[in-house]
Structure 1
Protein backbone atom coordinates (compact mmCIF):
# COMPACT_ATOMS: atom_id res chain seq x y z
CA UNK A 1 0.00 0.00 0.00
CA UNK A 2 1.41 3.35 -1.03
CA UNK A 3 1.24 5.77 1.85
CA UNK A 4 0.65 8.85 -0.31
CA UNK A 5 -0.81 9.62 -3.71
CA UNK A 6 1.44 11.61 -6.07
CA UNK A 7 -0.32 14.83 -5.06
CA UNK A 8 0.02 14.05 -1.36
CA UNK A 9 3.70 13.21 -1.82
CA UNK A 10 4.29 16.73 -3.14
CA UNK A 11 2.46 18.21 -0.14
CA UNK A 12 4.50 16.01 2.20
CA UNK A 13 7.80 17.11 0.64
CA UNK A 14 6.81 20.76 0.96
CA UNK A 15 5.72 20.28 4.57
CA UNK A 16 9.04 18.64 5.45
CA UNK A 17 10.98 21.58 3.99
CA UNK A 18 9.17 23.83 6.45
CA UNK A 19 8.61 21.62 9.50
CA UNK A 20 12.03 19.93 9.59
CA UNK A 21 13.50 23.25 10.67
CA UNK A 22 11.35 23.29 13.81
CA UNK A 23 12.34 21.71 17.15
CA UNK A 24 11.60 18.00 17.51
CA UNK A 25 11.16 17.90 21.29
CA UNK A 26 9.69 19.93 24.09
CA UNK A 27 6.57 22.09 23.82
CA UNK A 28 7.41 23.23 20.28
CA UNK A 29 7.85 19.63 19.10
CA UNK A 30 4.56 18.61 20.69
CA UNK A 31 2.82 21.56 19.04
CA UNK A 32 4.16 20.51 15.62
CA UNK A 33 2.81 16.99 16.14
CA UNK A 34 -0.57 18.38 17.25
CA UNK A 35 -0.91 20.73 14.25
CA UNK A 36 0.12 18.04 11.76
CA UNK A 37 -2.33 15.62 13.39
CA UNK A 38 -5.17 18.09 12.87
CA UNK A 39 -4.20 18.81 9.27
CA UNK A 40 -3.99 15.12 8.42
CA UNK A 41 -7.37 14.48 10.02
CA UNK A 42 -8.89 17.28 7.96
CA UNK A 43 -7.30 15.85 4.80
CA UNK A 44 -8.67 12.39 5.56
CA UNK A 45 -12.15 13.96 5.96
CA UNK A 46 -11.93 15.66 2.55
CA UNK A 47 -14.79 13.80 0.87
CA UNK A 48 -17.10 13.81 3.88
CA UNK A 49 -16.24 17.41 4.76
CA UNK A 50 -17.07 18.72 1.28
CA UNK A 51 -20.29 16.71 1.19
CA UNK A 52 -21.35 17.99 4.62
CA UNK A 53 -20.56 21.57 3.57
CA UNK A 54 -22.79 21.14 0.51
CA UNK A 55 -25.61 19.74 2.67
CA UNK A 56 -25.43 22.84 4.90
CA UNK A 57 -25.11 25.27 1.98
CA UNK A 58 -28.04 23.82 0.04
CA UNK A 59 -30.20 23.93 3.17
CA UNK A 60 -29.87 27.71 3.12
CA UNK A 61 -29.37 28.52 -0.55
CA UNK A 62 -31.21 25.95 -2.67
CA UNK A 63 -34.26 27.50 -4.41
CA UNK A 64 -37.51 25.86 -3.37
CA UNK A 65 -38.85 25.57 -6.93
CA UNK A 66 -35.55 24.80 -8.66
CA UNK A 67 -35.58 22.58 -11.77
CA UNK A 68 -33.07 20.25 -10.10
CA UNK A 69 -34.07 18.93 -6.70
CA UNK A 70 -31.70 19.51 -3.79
CA UNK A 71 -31.16 15.77 -3.23
CA UNK A 72 -30.39 15.25 -6.93
CA UNK A 73 -27.83 18.05 -6.83
CA UNK A 74 -26.18 16.44 -3.80
CA UNK A 75 -26.06 13.08 -5.63
CA UNK A 76 -24.50 14.58 -8.77
CA UNK A 77 -22.12 16.68 -6.67
CA UNK A 78 -20.94 13.60 -4.74
CA UNK A 79 -20.25 11.80 -8.04
CA UNK A 80 -18.34 14.84 -9.30
CA UNK A 81 -16.28 15.07 -6.11
CA UNK A 82 -15.27 11.43 -6.53
CA UNK A 83 -14.23 11.88 -10.15
CA UNK A 84 -12.23 15.02 -9.35
CA UNK A 85 -10.46 13.36 -6.41
CA UNK A 86 -9.45 10.39 -8.56
CA UNK A 87 -8.42 12.49 -11.57
CA UNK A 88 -6.40 14.92 -9.45
CA UNK A 89 -4.60 12.19 -7.51
CA UNK A 90 -6.31 13.08 -4.23
CA UNK A 91 -7.56 9.54 -3.75
CA UNK A 92 -6.31 6.05 -4.57
CA UNK A 93 -8.38 3.69 -6.75
CA UNK A 94 -8.57 1.24 -3.82
CA UNK A 95 -10.28 3.94 -1.78
CA UNK A 96 -12.82 4.45 -4.54
CA UNK A 97 -13.59 0.72 -4.29
CA UNK A 98 -14.20 1.12 -0.57
CA UNK A 99 -16.58 3.99 -1.27
CA UNK A 100 -18.50 1.87 -3.80
CA UNK A 101 -18.83 -0.97 -1.28
CA UNK A 102 -20.06 1.42 1.39
CA UNK A 103 -22.54 3.00 -0.99
CA UNK A 104 -24.12 -0.39 -1.69
CA UNK A 105 -24.10 -1.52 1.95
CA UNK A 106 -25.48 1.83 3.12
CA UNK A 107 -28.20 2.03 0.49
CA UNK A 108 -29.48 -1.45 1.35
CA UNK A 109 -29.71 -0.43 5.01
CA UNK A 110 -31.41 2.84 4.07
CA UNK A 111 -34.06 1.02 2.05
CA UNK A 112 -34.93 -1.17 5.01
CA UNK A 113 -34.76 1.53 7.68
CA UNK A 114 -36.90 4.03 5.80
CA UNK A 115 -39.51 1.35 5.09
CA UNK A 116 -39.54 0.59 8.82
CA UNK A 117 -40.04 4.29 9.64
CA UNK A 118 -36.73 4.75 11.46
CA UNK A 119 -36.12 8.02 9.57
CA UNK A 120 -37.36 9.80 6.47
CA UNK A 121 -36.09 11.99 3.64
CA UNK A 122 -38.61 14.84 3.55
CA UNK A 123 -37.81 16.20 0.07
CA UNK A 124 -38.57 14.90 -3.42
CA UNK A 125 -35.92 13.74 -5.88
CA UNK A 126 -35.49 11.97 -9.20
CA UNK A 127 -32.41 9.88 -8.40
CA UNK A 128 -33.88 7.58 -5.78
CA UNK A 129 -34.85 3.99 -5.01
CA UNK A 130 -38.22 3.81 -3.27
CA UNK A 131 -38.03 6.40 -0.43
CA UNK A 132 -34.22 6.63 -0.49
CA UNK A 133 -32.44 9.36 -2.50
CA UNK A 134 -29.20 8.03 -3.95
CA UNK A 135 -27.05 10.71 -2.35
CA UNK A 136 -27.69 9.03 1.01
CA UNK A 137 -25.36 6.15 0.17
CA UNK A 138 -22.51 8.63 -0.14
CA UNK A 139 -22.95 9.60 3.51
CA UNK A 140 -21.99 6.05 4.45
CA UNK A 141 -19.30 6.15 1.78
CA UNK A 142 -17.85 9.26 3.45
CA UNK A 143 -17.17 7.16 6.55
CA UNK A 144 -15.46 4.51 4.43
CA UNK A 145 -13.45 7.15 2.60
CA UNK A 146 -12.25 8.64 5.89
CA UNK A 147 -11.21 5.29 7.35
CA UNK A 148 -9.42 4.18 4.19
CA UNK A 149 -7.56 7.47 3.83
CA UNK A 150 -6.60 7.72 7.49
CA UNK A 151 -5.27 4.16 7.45
CA UNK A 152 -2.60 5.03 4.91
CA UNK A 153 -2.02 8.73 5.70
CA UNK A 154 -1.20 7.84 9.31
CA UNK A 155 0.47 4.57 8.26
CA UNK A 156 -1.60 2.70 10.83
CA UNK A 157 -0.23 -0.53 12.30
CA UNK A 158 -1.75 -2.82 14.91
CA UNK A 159 -0.57 -5.01 17.75
CA UNK A 160 -2.58 -7.96 19.08
CA UNK A 161 -5.07 -7.64 16.23
CA UNK A 162 -7.68 -10.46 16.31
CA UNK A 163 -8.01 -13.11 13.64
CA UNK A 164 -9.41 -11.66 10.43
CA UNK A 165 -12.26 -14.18 10.22
CA UNK A 166 -13.40 -13.20 13.71
CA UNK A 167 -13.69 -9.54 12.71
CA UNK A 168 -15.65 -10.52 9.59
CA UNK A 169 -18.03 -12.63 11.69
CA UNK A 170 -18.55 -9.76 14.15
CA UNK A 171 -19.21 -7.25 11.35
CA UNK A 172 -21.70 -9.62 9.74
CA UNK A 173 -23.51 -10.14 13.06
CA UNK A 174 -23.74 -6.38 13.62
CA UNK A 175 -25.09 -5.80 10.12
CA UNK A 176 -27.72 -8.54 10.50
CA UNK A 177 -28.82 -7.11 13.85
CA UNK A 178 -29.50 -3.71 12.27
CA UNK A 179 -32.28 -5.51 10.36
CA UNK A 180 -33.24 -8.36 12.70
CA UNK A 181 -33.88 -6.30 15.82
CA UNK A 182 -37.09 -5.01 14.22
CA UNK A 183 -38.48 -8.56 14.40
CA UNK A 184 -36.57 -10.31 17.19
CA UNK A 185 -34.55 -9.42 20.29
CA UNK A 186 -32.05 -6.59 19.89
CA UNK A 187 -28.67 -8.12 20.76
CA UNK A 188 -26.64 -4.91 20.50
CA UNK A 189 -25.45 -5.17 24.11
CA UNK A 190 -24.10 -8.61 23.36
CA UNK A 191 -22.40 -7.15 20.28
CA UNK A 192 -20.88 -4.38 22.41
CA UNK A 193 -19.49 -7.07 24.71
CA UNK A 194 -18.19 -9.12 21.77
CA UNK A 195 -16.47 -6.04 20.35
CA UNK A 196 -14.85 -5.29 23.70
CA UNK A 197 -13.61 -8.86 24.08
CA UNK A 198 -12.30 -9.07 20.53
CA UNK A 199 -10.41 -5.75 20.47
CA UNK A 200 -9.65 -5.28 24.19
CA UNK A 201 -5.92 -5.93 23.75
CA UNK A 202 -5.55 -4.28 20.32
CA UNK A 203 -3.59 -1.06 19.98
CA UNK A 204 -3.30 1.11 16.89
CA UNK A 205 0.10 2.67 16.15
CA UNK A 206 0.03 5.73 13.92
CA UNK A 207 2.65 8.07 12.53
CA UNK A 208 1.92 11.78 12.79
CA UNK A 209 5.11 13.57 11.71
CA UNK A 210 8.36 12.64 13.43
CA UNK A 211 7.01 10.04 15.82
CA UNK A 212 4.66 7.13 16.10
CA UNK A 213 1.97 7.23 18.76
CA UNK A 214 -0.47 4.60 19.95
CA UNK A 215 -3.89 4.28 21.52
CA UNK A 216 -6.34 1.47 22.32
CA UNK A 217 -8.28 0.67 19.16
CA UNK A 218 -11.58 0.65 21.07
CA UNK A 219 -10.95 4.26 22.09
CA UNK A 220 -10.32 5.11 18.45
CA UNK A 221 -13.65 3.54 17.47
CA UNK A 222 -15.46 5.58 20.11
CA UNK A 223 -13.85 8.89 19.09
CA UNK A 224 -14.72 8.39 15.42
CA UNK A 225 -18.29 7.34 16.32
CA UNK A 226 -18.64 10.51 18.42
CA UNK A 227 -17.42 12.61 15.49
CA UNK A 228 -19.99 10.96 13.19
CA UNK A 229 -22.74 11.58 15.75
CA UNK A 230 -21.90 15.29 15.70
CA UNK A 231 -22.01 15.24 11.89
CA UNK A 232 -25.40 13.49 12.03
CA UNK A 233 -26.74 16.31 14.19
CA UNK A 234 -25.62 18.76 11.51
CA UNK A 235 -27.22 16.61 8.80
CA UNK A 236 -30.60 16.40 10.53
CA UNK A 237 -30.48 20.10 11.43
CA UNK A 238 -30.01 20.76 7.68
CA UNK A 239 -33.01 18.46 7.03
CA UNK A 240 -31.01 16.18 4.76
CA UNK A 241 -32.97 13.51 6.65
CA UNK A 242 -34.99 13.59 9.87
CA UNK A 243 -36.04 11.24 12.63
CA UNK A 244 -39.73 10.96 13.60
CA UNK A 245 -39.26 13.11 16.71
CA UNK A 246 -37.80 15.89 14.53
CA UNK A 247 -40.80 16.23 12.21
CA UNK A 248 -42.21 19.16 14.20
CA UNK A 249 -38.85 20.93 14.52
CA UNK A 250 -35.21 20.07 14.98
CA UNK A 251 -34.04 18.53 18.23
CA UNK A 252 -30.59 17.01 18.91
CA UNK A 253 -30.16 13.41 17.82
CA UNK A 254 -30.54 11.07 20.78
CA UNK A 255 -27.25 10.11 22.43
CA UNK A 256 -28.45 6.50 22.13
CA UNK A 257 -27.65 6.76 18.41
CA UNK A 258 -23.99 6.95 19.41
CA UNK A 259 -24.16 3.23 20.14
CA UNK A 260 -25.52 2.57 16.66
CA UNK A 261 -22.71 4.58 15.10
CA UNK A 262 -20.20 2.75 17.27
CA UNK A 263 -21.41 -0.57 15.89
CA UNK A 264 -21.50 0.82 12.37
CA UNK A 265 -17.90 1.90 12.92
CA UNK A 266 -16.96 -1.76 13.41
CA UNK A 267 -18.59 -2.70 10.10
CA UNK A 268 -16.88 0.24 8.40
CA UNK A 269 -13.48 -0.58 9.84
CA UNK A 270 -13.68 -4.27 8.93
CA UNK A 271 -14.73 -3.46 5.36
CA UNK A 272 -11.72 -1.16 5.03
CA UNK A 273 -9.42 -3.94 6.27
CA UNK A 274 -10.62 -6.06 3.34
CA UNK A 275 -8.82 -3.55 1.09
CA UNK A 276 -6.07 -2.34 3.47
CA UNK A 277 -5.16 -5.42 5.53
CA UNK A 278 -4.00 -4.65 9.10
CA UNK A 279 -0.22 -4.68 9.46
CA UNK A 280 2.03 -4.98 12.49
CA UNK A 281 4.51 -2.23 13.44
CA UNK A 282 8.02 -2.39 12.07
CA UNK A 283 10.40 -4.39 14.24
CA UNK A 284 12.42 -1.45 15.62
CA UNK A 285 9.43 0.64 16.79
CA UNK A 286 7.83 -2.43 18.39
CA UNK A 287 11.01 -3.12 20.34
CA UNK A 288 11.03 0.49 21.54
CA UNK A 289 7.45 0.12 22.80
CA UNK A 290 8.37 -3.00 24.74
CA UNK A 291 11.34 -1.21 26.21
CA UNK A 292 8.98 1.44 27.60
CA UNK A 293 9.28 4.20 25.03
CA UNK A 294 5.88 5.56 26.09
CA UNK A 295 3.51 7.06 23.59
CA UNK A 296 6.19 7.88 21.02
CA UNK A 297 7.60 4.79 19.40
CA UNK A 298 10.53 6.12 17.45
CA UNK A 299 11.41 8.72 14.86
CA UNK A 300 11.13 7.08 11.48
Structure 2
Protein backbone atom coordinates (compact mmCIF):
# COMPACT_ATOMS: atom_id res chain seq x y z
CA UNK A 1 0.00 0.00 0.00
CA UNK A 2 2.83 2.39 0.84
CA UNK A 3 4.43 1.88 -2.57
CA UNK A 4 1.12 2.74 -4.29
CA UNK A 5 0.80 5.94 -2.25
CA UNK A 6 4.37 6.85 -3.10
CA UNK A 7 3.71 6.24 -6.79
CA UNK A 8 0.57 8.39 -6.69
CA UNK A 9 2.46 11.25 -5.03
CA UNK A 10 5.28 10.90 -7.56
CA UNK A 11 2.79 10.90 -10.44
CA UNK A 12 1.02 13.94 -9.03
CA UNK A 13 4.21 16.00 -8.90
CA UNK A 14 5.19 14.83 -12.38
CA UNK A 15 1.79 15.88 -13.71
CA UNK A 16 1.92 19.28 -11.99
CA UNK A 17 5.41 19.84 -13.40
CA UNK A 18 4.07 19.20 -16.91
CA UNK A 19 1.42 21.93 -16.86
CA UNK A 20 3.26 24.21 -19.28
CA UNK A 21 4.23 21.43 -21.76
CA UNK A 22 0.64 20.17 -21.68
CA UNK A 23 -0.59 23.73 -22.30
CA UNK A 24 1.65 23.92 -25.36
CA UNK A 25 0.43 20.68 -26.90
CA UNK A 26 -3.16 21.43 -25.99
CA UNK A 27 -2.87 24.80 -27.73
CA UNK A 28 -1.28 23.20 -30.79
CA UNK A 29 -4.06 20.61 -30.99
CA UNK A 30 -6.95 23.03 -30.53
CA UNK A 31 -5.54 25.67 -32.88
CA UNK A 32 -5.03 22.97 -35.52
CA UNK A 33 -8.59 21.70 -35.21
CA UNK A 34 -10.37 25.02 -34.78
CA UNK A 35 -10.07 27.86 -37.26
CA UNK A 36 -9.17 31.16 -35.60
CA UNK A 37 -10.74 34.28 -37.16
CA UNK A 38 -8.87 37.60 -37.47
CA UNK A 39 -5.54 36.19 -36.25
CA UNK A 40 -2.87 33.89 -37.63
CA UNK A 41 -2.49 30.57 -35.83
CA UNK A 42 1.18 31.10 -34.91
CA UNK A 43 0.37 34.51 -33.41
CA UNK A 44 -2.53 33.10 -31.40
CA UNK A 45 -0.32 30.33 -30.02
CA UNK A 46 2.24 32.89 -28.84
CA UNK A 47 -0.40 35.02 -27.09
CA UNK A 48 -1.93 32.00 -25.39
CA UNK A 49 1.42 30.68 -24.13
CA UNK A 50 2.45 34.09 -22.79
CA UNK A 51 -0.90 34.23 -20.96
CA UNK A 52 -0.35 30.72 -19.53
CA UNK A 53 3.07 31.74 -18.21
CA UNK A 54 1.60 34.87 -16.63
CA UNK A 55 -1.19 32.87 -14.96
CA UNK A 56 1.28 30.26 -13.68
CA UNK A 57 3.37 33.00 -12.12
CA UNK A 58 0.40 34.85 -10.60
CA UNK A 59 -1.01 31.61 -9.17
CA UNK A 60 2.31 30.66 -7.57
CA UNK A 61 2.86 27.62 -9.76
CA UNK A 62 6.12 29.21 -10.97
CA UNK A 63 8.53 31.52 -9.17
CA UNK A 64 10.20 34.59 -10.62
CA UNK A 65 13.52 32.70 -10.72
CA UNK A 66 11.90 29.94 -12.75
CA UNK A 67 10.48 32.53 -15.16
CA UNK A 68 14.01 33.86 -15.66
CA UNK A 69 15.30 30.36 -16.47
CA UNK A 70 12.45 29.86 -18.93
CA UNK A 71 13.35 33.14 -20.67
CA UNK A 72 16.97 31.99 -21.02
CA UNK A 73 15.85 28.72 -22.61
CA UNK A 74 13.43 30.57 -24.87
CA UNK A 75 16.32 32.61 -26.31
CA UNK A 76 18.61 29.55 -26.62
CA UNK A 77 15.89 27.59 -28.38
CA UNK A 78 14.86 30.43 -30.67
CA UNK A 79 18.44 30.96 -31.87
CA UNK A 80 18.75 27.26 -32.63
CA UNK A 81 15.39 27.26 -34.45
CA UNK A 82 16.38 30.22 -36.64
CA UNK A 83 19.59 28.49 -37.63
CA UNK A 84 17.97 25.11 -38.29
CA UNK A 85 15.20 26.62 -40.41
CA UNK A 86 17.78 28.57 -42.39
CA UNK A 87 19.68 25.30 -43.01
CA UNK A 88 16.50 23.55 -44.17
CA UNK A 89 16.29 21.05 -41.31
CA UNK A 90 12.58 21.84 -40.85
CA UNK A 91 10.13 24.62 -41.62
CA UNK A 92 7.18 26.61 -40.27
CA UNK A 93 5.01 26.87 -43.38
CA UNK A 94 2.09 28.89 -42.01
CA UNK A 95 1.99 32.71 -42.08
CA UNK A 96 2.31 34.86 -38.97
CA UNK A 97 3.10 38.40 -37.87
CA UNK A 98 5.27 37.17 -35.01
CA UNK A 99 7.78 35.29 -37.16
CA UNK A 100 11.46 36.16 -37.02
CA UNK A 101 13.52 35.02 -40.02
CA UNK A 102 10.90 32.39 -40.81
CA UNK A 103 10.54 31.17 -37.22
CA UNK A 104 7.47 31.94 -35.07
CA UNK A 105 8.39 33.37 -31.69
CA UNK A 106 6.29 30.77 -29.89
CA UNK A 107 8.79 28.09 -30.92
CA UNK A 108 11.19 29.13 -28.16
CA UNK A 109 8.54 28.12 -25.64
CA UNK A 110 8.86 24.49 -26.73
CA UNK A 111 12.44 24.54 -25.45
CA UNK A 112 11.43 26.62 -22.45
CA UNK A 113 8.83 24.00 -21.54
CA UNK A 114 11.70 21.56 -20.87
CA UNK A 115 13.19 24.12 -18.48
CA UNK A 116 9.78 24.67 -16.89
CA UNK A 117 9.43 20.94 -16.23
CA UNK A 118 12.93 20.66 -14.79
CA UNK A 119 12.57 23.67 -12.51
CA UNK A 120 9.19 22.48 -11.28
CA UNK A 121 10.18 18.89 -10.64
CA UNK A 122 13.43 19.99 -8.99
CA UNK A 123 11.50 22.10 -6.51
CA UNK A 124 8.61 19.70 -5.96
CA UNK A 125 10.76 16.61 -5.35
CA UNK A 126 13.47 18.56 -3.46
CA UNK A 127 16.06 17.27 -5.89
CA UNK A 128 19.80 17.31 -5.43
CA UNK A 129 22.77 15.62 -7.06
CA UNK A 130 25.71 13.57 -5.85
CA UNK A 131 28.94 13.42 -7.82
CA UNK A 132 28.33 16.56 -9.90
CA UNK A 133 31.46 17.01 -12.07
CA UNK A 134 31.62 20.77 -11.52
CA UNK A 135 31.07 23.85 -13.66
CA UNK A 136 34.23 23.50 -15.77
CA UNK A 137 33.63 19.94 -17.00
CA UNK A 138 29.85 20.21 -17.25
CA UNK A 139 29.93 23.69 -18.80
CA UNK A 140 32.50 22.81 -21.45
CA UNK A 141 30.62 19.64 -22.37
CA UNK A 142 27.30 21.49 -22.54
CA UNK A 143 28.85 24.19 -24.72
CA UNK A 144 30.34 21.57 -27.06
CA UNK A 145 26.97 19.83 -27.37
CA UNK A 146 25.16 23.07 -28.21
CA UNK A 147 27.86 24.05 -30.71
CA UNK A 148 27.60 20.65 -32.42
CA UNK A 149 23.94 21.35 -33.24
CA UNK A 150 25.25 24.19 -35.43
CA UNK A 151 28.53 22.84 -36.79
CA UNK A 152 27.42 19.37 -37.93
CA UNK A 153 26.07 20.98 -41.11
CA UNK A 154 29.65 21.80 -42.16
CA UNK A 155 31.90 19.32 -40.35
CA UNK A 156 31.35 15.74 -39.13
CA UNK A 157 28.65 15.19 -36.52
CA UNK A 158 30.30 14.45 -33.17
CA UNK A 159 27.12 13.55 -31.29
CA UNK A 160 28.20 9.97 -30.58
CA UNK A 161 31.60 11.10 -29.34
CA UNK A 162 29.84 13.67 -27.18
CA UNK A 163 27.45 10.98 -25.92
CA UNK A 164 30.46 8.89 -24.89
CA UNK A 165 31.90 11.92 -23.07
CA UNK A 166 28.57 12.36 -21.28
CA UNK A 167 28.76 8.81 -19.96
CA UNK A 168 32.34 9.43 -18.80
CA UNK A 169 31.79 12.85 -17.23
CA UNK A 170 28.52 11.97 -15.48
CA UNK A 171 29.08 8.30 -14.68
CA UNK A 172 29.34 9.05 -10.94
CA UNK A 173 26.47 11.55 -10.87
CA UNK A 174 23.18 10.52 -9.27
CA UNK A 175 19.93 12.43 -8.93
CA UNK A 176 18.60 12.48 -5.39
CA UNK A 177 14.86 13.09 -5.11
CA UNK A 178 12.29 12.82 -2.35
CA UNK A 179 8.71 11.59 -2.36
CA UNK A 180 7.01 12.45 0.92
CA UNK A 181 9.50 11.28 3.56
CA UNK A 182 11.38 8.75 1.41
CA UNK A 183 14.57 9.51 -0.51
CA UNK A 184 15.34 7.84 -3.85
CA UNK A 185 18.15 8.12 -6.35
CA UNK A 186 18.71 7.49 -10.05
CA UNK A 187 21.76 7.66 -12.36
CA UNK A 188 21.70 11.04 -14.09
CA UNK A 189 22.47 9.53 -17.51
CA UNK A 190 19.38 7.31 -17.21
CA UNK A 191 17.30 10.40 -16.44
CA UNK A 192 18.76 12.07 -19.55
CA UNK A 193 17.57 9.20 -21.73
CA UNK A 194 14.09 8.94 -20.15
CA UNK A 195 13.36 12.66 -20.56
CA UNK A 196 14.83 12.64 -24.09
CA UNK A 197 12.56 9.74 -25.07
CA UNK A 198 9.43 11.48 -23.80
CA UNK A 199 10.40 14.69 -25.61
CA UNK A 200 10.71 12.61 -28.80
CA UNK A 201 7.16 11.34 -28.20
CA UNK A 202 6.04 14.94 -27.69
CA UNK A 203 7.80 15.93 -30.90
CA UNK A 204 5.73 13.41 -32.81
CA UNK A 205 2.58 14.98 -31.37
CA UNK A 206 3.81 18.49 -32.24
CA UNK A 207 4.61 17.64 -35.86
CA UNK A 208 1.28 15.82 -36.19
CA UNK A 209 -0.46 19.09 -35.28
CA UNK A 210 1.78 21.08 -37.68
CA UNK A 211 3.79 22.91 -35.03
CA UNK A 212 6.59 22.48 -37.57
CA UNK A 213 7.45 20.02 -40.32
CA UNK A 214 10.51 18.02 -41.27
CA UNK A 215 11.26 17.71 -45.01
CA UNK A 216 9.86 14.17 -45.16
CA UNK A 217 6.59 15.39 -43.61
CA UNK A 218 5.71 18.05 -46.18
CA UNK A 219 3.35 15.80 -48.15
CA UNK A 220 2.11 13.61 -45.30
CA UNK A 221 2.91 13.12 -41.63
CA UNK A 222 5.44 10.41 -40.74
CA UNK A 223 6.87 9.24 -37.45
CA UNK A 224 9.88 11.33 -36.44
CA UNK A 225 13.13 9.43 -36.90
CA UNK A 226 14.32 7.46 -33.88
CA UNK A 227 17.71 9.12 -34.36
CA UNK A 228 16.13 12.32 -33.02
CA UNK A 229 16.09 10.72 -29.57
CA UNK A 230 19.85 11.20 -29.45
CA UNK A 231 19.41 14.89 -30.26
CA UNK A 232 16.91 15.35 -27.46
CA UNK A 233 19.13 13.30 -25.14
CA UNK A 234 21.91 15.82 -25.74
CA UNK A 235 19.57 18.81 -25.50
CA UNK A 236 18.29 17.59 -22.13
CA UNK A 237 21.89 17.49 -20.92
CA UNK A 238 22.31 21.18 -21.79
CA UNK A 239 19.08 21.93 -19.92
CA UNK A 240 20.12 20.01 -16.81
CA UNK A 241 23.57 21.61 -16.77
CA UNK A 242 22.07 25.12 -16.87
CA UNK A 243 19.34 24.42 -14.31
CA UNK A 244 21.68 22.55 -11.95
CA UNK A 245 24.28 25.31 -12.09
CA UNK A 246 21.69 28.02 -11.45
CA UNK A 247 20.31 26.03 -8.51
CA UNK A 248 23.85 25.68 -7.17
CA UNK A 249 24.45 29.44 -7.45
CA UNK A 250 21.15 30.20 -5.75
CA UNK A 251 21.90 27.76 -2.93
CA UNK A 252 25.28 29.44 -2.40
CA UNK A 253 23.66 32.87 -2.15
CA UNK A 254 21.10 31.62 0.38
CA UNK A 255 23.89 30.09 2.48
CA UNK A 256 25.78 33.41 2.50
CA UNK A 257 22.63 35.26 3.58
CA UNK A 258 22.21 32.87 6.50
CA UNK A 259 25.79 33.50 7.57
CA contact (8 A) 1:33 1:210 kept: no
- 1:186 equivalent in alignment to 2:142: no
Query: Residues 238-253 of structure 1: matches in 2 within 5 Å?
Result: 238-253=209-224
Query: What is the match of residue 175 of structure 2?
Result: 204
**Range 158-167 or range 178-187, more displaced:** 158-167
Measured against aligned partners, the alpha-carbon deviations of 1:126-149 in whole angstroms (never above 9, x if no partner) come to 011011000000000000111111
CA contact (8 A) 1:158 1:279 kept: no
- 1:108 equivalent in alignment to 2:79: yes
Measure, in 2, the Cα distance between the counterparts of 1:279 and 1:246: 43
1:149 to 106, 120, 136: 120
CA contact (8 A) 2:29 2:209 kept: yes
- 1:76 equivalent in alignment to 2:76: no
Measure, in 2, the Cα distance between the counterparts of 1:248 and 1:278: 48
Shift of 1:185: 1.2
Query: Residues 109-124 of structure 1: matches in 2 within 5 Å?
Result: 109-124=80-95
Shift of 1:50: 1.0
The aligned length equals: 251
Measure, in 1, the Cα distance between the counterparts of 2:99 and 2:247: 31
SS in 2 for 1:249: coil
Measure, in 2, the Cα distance between the counterparts of 1:275 and 1:48: 21
**Range 29-38 or range 81-90, more displaced:** 81-90
CA contact (8 A) 1:202 1:217 kept: yes
Measure, in 2, the Cα distance between the counterparts of 1:103 and 1:247: 26
SS in 1 for 2:248: coil
Measure, in 2, the Cα distance between the counterparts of 1:91 and 1:262: 25
Measure, in 2, the Cα distance between the counterparts of 1:158 and 1:271: 14
- 1:61 equivalent in alignment to 2:34: yes
Shift of 1:91: 0.5
CA contact (8 A) 2:10 2:179 kept: yes
2:59 to 88, 93, 96: 88
Query: What is the match of residue 228 of structure 2?
Result: 257
CA contact (8 A) 1:155 1:207 kept: yes
- 1:34 equivalent in alignment to 2:7: yes
Query: Residues 5-24 of structure 1: matches in 2 within 5 Å?
Result: none
Measured against aligned partners, the alpha-carbon deviations of 1:148-169 in whole angstroms (never above 9, x if no partner) come to 1111111111111111221111
Shift of 1:98: 0.7
Measure, in 1, the Cα distance between the counterparts of 2:246 and 2:167: 23
Measure, in 2, the Cα distance between the counterparts of 1:84 and 1:217: 32
TM-score by length of 2: 0.94
Give 1 or 2: higher helix fraction: 2
User: Which ranges in structure 2 are unaligned for 5 or more consecutive residues?
Assistant: 252-259
Query: What is the match of residue 255 of structure 2?
Result: none
Query: What is the match of residue 217 of structure 1?
Result: 188
Measure, in 2, the Cα distance between the counterparts of 1:163 and 1:130: 37
Instruction: Quote the RMSD (CA, aligned, Å).
Output: 1.4
